[in-house]
Amino acid sequence: MADEANLARLAEKYDSNVIGLRDIWQTLIATGRRLGEVVNLRLDCTSLYNGLPMLWHDQTKVGNYDEAIRIPDTVHQLLAQRRSKTIRKIRSIIVLLIFIFEALIDLARLGRRMK
């Protein structure tokens, strides 16, 4: 289920936009968490506790919030890389939105001048 060749095929065939399906699958396998718990993880969901990597998550189905479980170092590193990718994407989107907003303001000003 978590063989490197299978993970590579999963990413190649179903995750061409690199949204993190492989990361989600590896986290599911390694932690035993529910899909909703994994896909709803916060950016700050990992930490080290006494040098051990931990995953903080919400178990909304049973009403447990901010629960921590021990995770393998590989998953800790994987989630750190996913966090960096997500932050870069968010920053890119923000820059694009600022550009669009400024362009709309310029168009509105130009429209006022043409009246």
pLDDT of residue 115: 66
Domain boundaries, the chain: 4-81
Predicted model pTM: 0.76
In this prediction, residues 36-54 reach a mean pLDDT of 93
Tell me what percent of the residues of the chain surpass a pLDDT of 70: 98
**Phi/psi at 69 (nearest 5 deg)?**
-130, 155
Task: Compute the distance between CA of residue 99 and CA of residue 27 in angstroms, rounded to an integer.
Answer: 36
**Residue whose token pair is 């870069």:** 88
Give the E-state strand segments of the chain in sequence order: 46-49, 52-59, 64-70
What amino acid is encoded at 109 in this protein? Answer: R
By C-alpha distance, which of 111, 48, 36, 103 is closest to 77? 48
**Number of neighbours of residue 96 by Cβ within 10 angstroms:** 10
